[in-house]
Amino acid sequence: MNRRDLREQNRESWNAVVGVHDSHRGDLARFLREGGSTLFREERDLLGDLEGRSLLHLQCNSGGDSISLAKLGATVTGVDISDEAVLSARDLAQKSGVPATFERADVYDWLERASRDGRHFDVVFASYGVVCWLSDLEAWADGIATILNPSGYFVLVDFHPAADIFDEDWNPARDYPSAGEPLRLDEGVGDYVGEAVGGLTPAGFEEGVGSFENPEKAHLFRWGLGEILTALAGASLRITTVEEYTYTNGERSFARMRELAGRRLAPPEDVPAVPLMYGLRAEKS
């Protein structure tokens, strides 16, 4: 299922919201320049030592994580579908003084072109709200496998599909995700950075743009965890680690979430522990 039409509409929705997200992030360039990082422990642990490695960051958004990865010694290339996100990432790299390269492209187009041009990387990384924008898991996994160097690896940290069955008040509201079923969001990509009220802004939270309404609708694609793992295994990537976490990093996805140390958020006491995030590492032989 290619669905380029839906992905192009998503591009418009992301272009409309990037500046709103950035308005809440404080002086992120200074934060990074002075030793700060936007990364959480979960991705750091899965990625391991990055010194001297070439790293491809897919769906990199506005570049904070990409630049934080570059500060760990990686040579980083970030890719994102949003024109505005890539412009923001390039500006952040310049202002922070941390070298990183950013390229604007649909992820499928980029992987196909990189394979054709013989580009290869030691590490591929993606995180937090990325799989839900993918319309074809097999093409995505095959593309990642093709551009990885021998003994290279892919790391993914994302929100758990099991959490998608709940509405914002923890009531079961939807079937478990499967088959990449499109879900239309008439409200478009929202201001989740502002709604996190500091959880996603380690440089300090700014009120920024308020009461944002996105004029561009968006479409998600609903995949189950088994489908994600199967796509990677089908691309001959050896899955070495799968972790599940009963909290989220930074994002306030549901009502009444309890704040834990390290900008983590957990379900309220009256809700049983459920997996809200997962992380995985898959290696190329």
Q: What pLDDT is stored for residue 125 in this prediction? A: 99
**Confidence check: pLDDT of 66 > 90:** yes
Nearest CA to 75 out of 93, 95, 87 is that of 93
How far apart, in whole angstroms, are the C-alpha atoms of residue 69 and residue 142? Answer: 24
**Confidence check: pLDDT of 164 > 80:** yes
How far apart, in whole angstroms, are the C-alpha atoms of residue 31 and residue 38? Answer: 9
Instruction: Read off the CATH number of the domain in which 199 is found.
Output: 3.40.50.150
**Confidence check: pLDDT of 1 > 70:** no
Total domains in the fold of the chain: 1
User: What share of the chain in percent tops pLDDT 70?
Assistant: 100
The arithmetic mean of pLDDT across residues 70-99, rounded, is: 98
**Mean pLDDT over the full length of the chain:** 97
Q: What residue numbers bound the domain in which 130 lies?
A: 4-284
User: What share of the chain in percent tops pLDDT 90?
Assistant: 99
